[in-house]
Amino acid sequence: MYAGHAAVALVLKTREPRVPIAVLVAACFGPDWVELFLGLSIGRSAGEAYSHFIPGVLVGALLAATLYKIVLRLPGARYVALAWLLHWPADFLTAHKPLLDPTHIVGLDLYDLPAIDFTIEGLLVIGCAFLYARSFATGRAQRRWVAAMALTLLVIQGVLDYGLSNQPWRSWNPSLAQGRRQPHLTVAAASPARPADPHGSCTLARTHSASERCRMTDHGAW
Amino acid sequence: MDLTEGVLHLFGLVSQWNTRARGFGLLLLLPVVVIAVADWRVRRRR
């Protein structure tokens, strides 16, 4: 996610106005900053994995909040941590991100459906900008600045999604589980001598109907 | 060598500062700048 992360910072600002907005926005993109610098030192793939897997996000949030408290000595450190933590569920919508194991990635992969991604992030930007304006923009000139900010974020997001839509080699591939062969427990438990491979592919099916078709074609296995 | 390269040179990372890293860094900075400027303009008028 991109503009959506920035939008989250606007809402967090309404909850704790004493936290500088630049700190909140930076924290909302925290794991991406870590990915950038880790990628420079240990390689791009490793940088992405270790910056975005859940233990890494937790450690990053804790360190960011602690650093904020020590350096800036301002209230609201928990909102800095929250901004950092909210990065992962937002990225779950748009890409594939690791869970506890850096190699086990899951996500709805909406970057490969750019129109839907733009819609979701656009709605997030508009909604969060509205909440921000309700708290801080009481005059017309102020609301114009909020509108200009939201529009700028939408334009940048639009350019990114347009770029994504012009990559025809990409295909939508949402994933909620590890994509590897695994025999059904009934096959492995009932007939140990029987090879588990023939129906291992059923577990790779993305849709329940594919698994049902598999069951219908080989009654002996079931 | 720009300022960023100068800092990275200190950590021995300048060879990795390629176009992709620059682009990624710019993308991360953009929303910070956009929102910080807008927030400053909005809250200054309060």
**Residue among A136, A67, A165 at smallest CA distance from B42:** A136
Q: Is A212 helix (H, G, I), strand (E, B) or coil?
A: helix
pLDDT-derived band of residue A204, with 50, 70 and 90 as boundaries? very low
Tens digits of per-residue pLDDT, A103-132? Answer: 777 777 777 788 889 999 999 999 999 999
Judge residue A189's burial from the number of C-beta atoms within 10 Å of its C-beta, 0-12 exposed, 13-18 middle, 19 or more buried: exposed
Residue range B1-46, pLDDT digits in tens: 455 555 555 555 555 557 778 888 888 999 999 999 999 999 886 5
Cβ-based contacts of A139 with chain B (< 8 Å)? 45
Cβ pairs bridging A and B (under 8 Å)? 71
Q: Which of residues 111-140 of A touch B (CB under 8 A)?
A: 136-139
CA dihedral B35, B36, B39, B41 (to 10 degrees): -110
Please report residues of B whose CB lies closer than 8 A to that of A21. 35-36, 39
Nearest-CA residue of chain A relative to B14?
A40
**Does the distance separating the beta carbons of A148 and B38 come in below 8 Å?**
yes
A153 contacts chain B (CB < 8 A): yes
- Write down the ipTM of this complex: 0.73
Q: What is the reported pTM? A: 0.75
| A33/B contact by beta carbon, under 8 A | yes
Residues of A in contact with B24 (CB under 8 A): 32, 36
pLDDT of residue A119: 93
The radius of gyration of chain B from alpha carbons, rounded to an integer in Å, stands at: 15
Q: Are B14 and A114 in contact (CB under 8 A)?
A: no
Binary contact (A25, B43; C-beta < 8 A): no
State pLDDT tens for residues A58-107: 999 999 999 999 999 999 999 999 999 999 998 888 877 777 777 777 77
